[in-house]
């Protein structure tokens, strides 16, 4: 005798496969999944073998519930008159309509009591009431169809009386239960695998072009070079096609950095500044990124990318206008890897040096149908530097006259040189703020600061007007280059689990710089540009008083000539306590970061700041002014938190003054000397932080998606 469950799903001899085959067979389907059955009316039985899995499981569960709730209770009364209901040979019932065209019993008709009623009508009414109650209870619970199927089958097997049900039926019922359970388990596993594949395939990859005046390791003066040397690599690792366009600086010293860059043979003519200028491109493929270097004679001179010992270069506007024109042409003319990047690009323009790219897209390309699907994102690393030049230079940039308003800049009265000065100028960064599709700053705190009068540098009202497209993403760091376990620039390696190498690096640094080798003496370091932003004037005012304590101090940086001379003078008068390294040296910066106990950063404003991230990575405790990215990344030390085990990664002070800075420094010095356990906790918490570019790259991808949701801001 056939199993009742199996019998209900069997068809006439010419019908499709039975339920067991339907449940076990799985065919992928492309259509979107409907809502689960427990969220609405129950679906009709599947008409094809390839029906969605949840429909097949729900149908199996519904038939199983019908059997356990209705047939089980009336079995003894009907055993003599109707042993078991069967669809075999009975394609139609007495009332009609209980069997569908495909031969399967219609569960909706079962639910309203129009099943086979062989004999007493009261039996059918009783079965209908019982079944409706069971179905209502099941609908209320909203359990998953797989779980419901298993539960009902279990209960039906346990409740069935072996004296009234033949052994063969019981065995077949158990077999059907095992088929349903194994089928459901396979369905769940397959559904999870499908979801994982869908998540992997749904991430959109894009064609991205970074435009920057710096890109480490080829050129670098600060954080801009670090970001544009690391973020493109992280994005390329996530599947994007990435190009970085930067000048080919030949200073006579850095020429070897471009040794692997090959001349592409492509030449373009740029019409600007009253002439036609030929530009060539060099290319190097490294770490999954196309590094493109724009070559022009204006980049071949001693000094850094922006100036030399005599100050900033007088033709910087011309030099970076050339860069922007070349960057706009590079995706169209360079067949990198065999084919060009094309017009549907996402331009990432960094600071004022690359800001003209956003203006060129809107003013000189889209009006002619080129780059109509491209987008531009302005990344502000430092709002203080805006590329402001006299208004008379506008006509030399090759822009249409009607676009002057996008770059127009009027200095306030107090900032003008004399009474007849109208204050008229062009502001390249303002042009990008006006024309870019989205704006990003390098920390969340800085994205708010630049909308205030104190931090907006005259652009706060304009930035407020575009606040709806303004976001902040904290920078990451290159965890391969800045890694105390493998750093090639430091003499000893160490980790969060073994800090012994940290003390050895300190001793090696003291020996290298000619300071007394004293493990117990706090060694304080400063690394950065010597200018007003970095708060070097506060250091100058406080250093004499600070050197009265038993400490050692190291400064590395270049910039303001007066501060450089001051560093030399202090070193000559405090040979046992102070060393000043004028200039920027990457290996020395690594050794100072690894060897110092404390890193001091009294910046007036800090868009993000990378040195404090490097310091924590190397177990050096930062003492910073509470501003911008420093506030976002440094957690103030609390020795009484976590049951007195401590919390935090450094110290923040505010306001920026000599007194508040000295106060926090003295607390840090005292903690270093008298509370070794707390100091070690500070070091380890900082070293345990994740400062990689992975999380930042994910946030940038979200901004990319938002940029393409809307049409270009300027069309």
pLDDT digits (tens, 9 = 90+) for 472-499: 999 998 888 899 999 999 999 999 999 9
Mean per-residue pLDDT, 346-361 = 97
pLDDT above 90 covers a percentage of the chain that reads 61
Query: What are the Cα distances from residue 140, in Å, to 137, 143, 144, 574, 686?
Result: 5, 8, 12, 82, 51
Tens of pLDDT along 257-277? 999 999 999 999 999 999 999
Mean pLDDT of 349-367: 96
Contact 73, 65 (CB under 8 A): no
Looking at residue 611, its pLDDT comes to 93
Query: Which of 361, 356, 416, 353 is CA-nearest to residue 387?
Result: 353
Residue 526 has pLDDT above 50, yes or no: yes
Q: Determine the pLDDT at residue 584.
A: 80
3-state DSSP assignment of residue 58: helix
Q: How confident is the model over 134-157, as pLDDT tens digits?
A: 444 444 444 444 344 444 334 443
Q: Report which of 134, 144, 241, 235 is spatially closest to residue 185, judged by C-alpha positions.
A: 144
Backbone angles phi, psi at 600, to 5 degrees: -100, 130
The DSSP code sequence of 508-540 is HHHHHHT----TTS-EEEEES-BSTTTTHHHHH
pLDDT mean across residues, the chain: 80
- For the residues 560-575, what does the mean pLDDT come to? 94
Is 40's pLDDT higher than 50? Answer: no
- Euclidean distance between CA atoms 434 and 443, whole angstroms: 21
The per-residue pLDDT for 189 is 52
Whole-number percent of the chain with pLDDT over 70: 71
The angle subtended at Cα 267 by Cα 261 and Cα 268, nearest 5°, is 125
Residue 220 pLDDT: 87
Residue 576 to residue 516: CA distance in whole angstroms = 7
Whole-angstrom Cα distance, residue 547 to residue 549? 5
Determine the pLDDT at residue 566.
Answer: 96
The token duo for 312 is 């900033």
* Residue of 472, 476, 588, 479 lying closest to 526 (CA atoms): 588
Determine the distance from the C-alpha atom of residue 463 to the mean position of all C-alpha atoms in its chain, rounded to a whole number: 23
DSSP state of 26: -
> Hey, what long-range contacts does 156-159 have (CB within 8 A, 24 or more apart)?
156/64, 156/67, 156/68, 156/72, 159/68, 159/72
DSSP string, 573-628: H-TTTEEEEES--HHHHHHHHHH-SEEEE--S--SS-SHHHHHHHTTPEEEEES-H
Model pLDDT, residue 478: 85
Range 538-561 burial, b when 16+ CB lie within 10 A, else e: bbbebbeebbeeebbbbbbbbbbe
Q: What does the pLDDT read at residue 91?
A: 38
Lowest-confidence range among 66-80, 312-326, 496-510?
66-80
User: pLDDT digit string (tens) for 628-643?
Assistant: 999 999 999 998 887 7
Answer for the pair 68, 180: CB distance below 8 angstroms, yes or no.
no
Q: Determine the pLDDT at residue 138.
A: 45
Q: What is the pLDDT of residues 676-713, one digit of tens each?
A: 999 999 999 999 998 889 889 999 999 999 999 988 98
The answer to whether 646 and 681 have CB atoms below 8 angstroms apart is yes
What is the rounded CA–CA span in Å between residue 137 and residue 147?
A: 15
547: pLDDT strictly greater than 50: yes
Query: What band does 586 get if pLDDT is binned at 50, 70 and 90?
Result: confident
More confident residue, 52 or 224: 224
Which residue from 309, 226, 60 is spatially nearest to 617, judged by alpha carbons? Answer: 226
At 83 the pLDDT is 44
Cβ atoms of residues 425 and 390 within 8 Å = yes
Say how many C-beta atoms besides its own lie within 10 A of residue 269's C-beta: 11
Q: Is the dihedral of CA 118, 119, 124, 127 positive or negative?
A: negative
H or E element at residue 266:
strand 262-272
Measuring CA to CA, which residue among 3, 2, 1 is closest to residue 173?
A: 3
132: three-class secondary structure by DSSP? helix
The bridge status of strand 424-427 relative to strand 408-410 is: antiparallel
Q: What is the pLDDT of residue 178?
A: 53
Q: What's the rounded Cα separation, in Å, for the pair 502 and 490?
A: 10
pLDDT confidence of residue 1: 42
The pLDDT confidence band at residue 55, using thresholds 50, 70 and 90, is very low
């Amino acid at each position: 005798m056939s199993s009742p469950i199996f019998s209900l799903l069997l068809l006439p001899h010419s019908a499709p496969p039975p339920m067991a085959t339907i449940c076990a067979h799985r065919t992928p389907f492309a259509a979107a999944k409907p809502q689960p059955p427990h969220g609405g009316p129950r679906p009709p039985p599947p008409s094809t073998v390839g029906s969605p899995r949840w429909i097949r499981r729900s149908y199996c569960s519904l038939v199983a519930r019908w059997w356990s709730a209705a047939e089980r209770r009336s079995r003894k009364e009907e055993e003599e008159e109707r042993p078991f209901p069967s669809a075999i040979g009975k394609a139609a019932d007495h009332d009609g309509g209980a069997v569908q065209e495909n031969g399967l019993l219609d569960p909706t008709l079962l639910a309203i009591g129009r099943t086979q009623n062989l004999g007493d009508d009261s039996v059918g009414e009783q079965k209908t009431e019982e079944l409706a109650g069971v179905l209502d209870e099941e609908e209320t619970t909203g359990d998953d169809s797989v779980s419901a199927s298993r539960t009902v089958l279990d209960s039906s097997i346990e409740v069935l009386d072996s004296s009234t049900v033949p052994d063969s039926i019981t065995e077949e019922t158990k077999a059907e239960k095992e088929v349903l359970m194994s089928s459901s388990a396979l369905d769940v596993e397959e559904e999870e695998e499908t979801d994982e594949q869908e998540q992997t395939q749904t991430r959109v990859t894009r064609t991205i072009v970074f435009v920057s005046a710096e890109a480490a390791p080829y050129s670098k003066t600060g954080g801009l070079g670090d970001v544009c040397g690391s973020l493109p690599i992280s994005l390329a690792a996530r599947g994007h096609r990435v190009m970085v366009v930067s000048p080919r600086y030949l200073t006579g010293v850095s020429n070897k950095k471009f040794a692997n860059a090959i001349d592409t043979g492509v030449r373009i003519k740029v019409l600007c500044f009253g002439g036609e200028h030929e530009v060539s491109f060099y290319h190097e493929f490294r770490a999954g990124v196309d590094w493109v270097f724009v070559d022009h004679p204006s980049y071949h001179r001693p000094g850094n990318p922006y100036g030399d010992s005599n100050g900033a270069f007088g033709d910087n506007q011309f030099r970076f206008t050339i860069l922007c024109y070349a960057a706009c042409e590079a995706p169209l003319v360079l067949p990198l890897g065999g084919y060009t990047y094309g017009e549907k690009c996402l331009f990432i323009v960094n600071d004022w040096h690359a800001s003209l790219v956003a203006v060129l897209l809107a003013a000189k390309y889209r009006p002619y149908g080129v780059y109509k699907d491209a987008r531009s994102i302005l990344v502000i690393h430092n709002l203080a530097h805006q590329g402001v030049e006299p208004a008379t230079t506008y006509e030399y940039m090759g822009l249409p006259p009607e676009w002057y308003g996008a770059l127009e800049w009027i200095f306030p009265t107090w900032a003008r040189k004399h009474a007849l000065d109208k204050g008229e100028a062009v502001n390249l960064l303002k042009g990008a703020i006006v024309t870019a599709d989205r704006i990003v700053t390098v920390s969340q705190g800085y994205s708010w600061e630049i909308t205030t009068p104190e931090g907006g540098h005259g652009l706060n009202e304009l930035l407020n007007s575009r606040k709806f497209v303004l976001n902040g993403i904290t920078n990451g760091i290159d965890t391969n280059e800045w890694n105390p376990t493998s750093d090639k620039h430091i003499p000893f390696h160490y980790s969060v689990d073994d800090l012994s190498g940290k003390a050895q690096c300190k001793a090696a640094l003291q020996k290298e710089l000619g300071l007394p080798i004293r493990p117990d003496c706090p060694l304080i370091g400063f690394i950065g540009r010597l200018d007003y932003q970095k708060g070097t004037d506060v250091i100058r005012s406080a250093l004499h008083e600070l050197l009265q304590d038993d400490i050692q101090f190291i400064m590395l940086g270049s910039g303001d000539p007066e501060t450089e001379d001051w560093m030399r003078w202090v070193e000559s008068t405090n040979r046992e306590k102070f060393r000043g390294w004028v200039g920027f040296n990457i290996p020395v910066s690594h050794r100072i970061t690894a060897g110092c106990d404390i890193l001091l950063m009294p910046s007036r404003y800090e868009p993000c700041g990378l040195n404090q991230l490097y310091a924590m990575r190397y177990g050096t405790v930062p003492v910073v002014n509470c501003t911008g990215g420093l506030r976002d990344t440094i957690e103030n030390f609390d020795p009484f938190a976590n049951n007195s085990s401590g919390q935090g990664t450094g110290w923040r002070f505010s306001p920026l003054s000599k007194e508040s800075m000295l106060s926090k420094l003295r607390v840090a010095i005292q903690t270093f000397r008298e509370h070794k356990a707390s100091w070690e906790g500070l070091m380890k918490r900082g070293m345990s932080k994740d400062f990689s570019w992975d999380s930042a790259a994910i946030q940038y991808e979200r901004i990319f998606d938002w940029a393409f949701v809307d049409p270009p801001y300027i069309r």
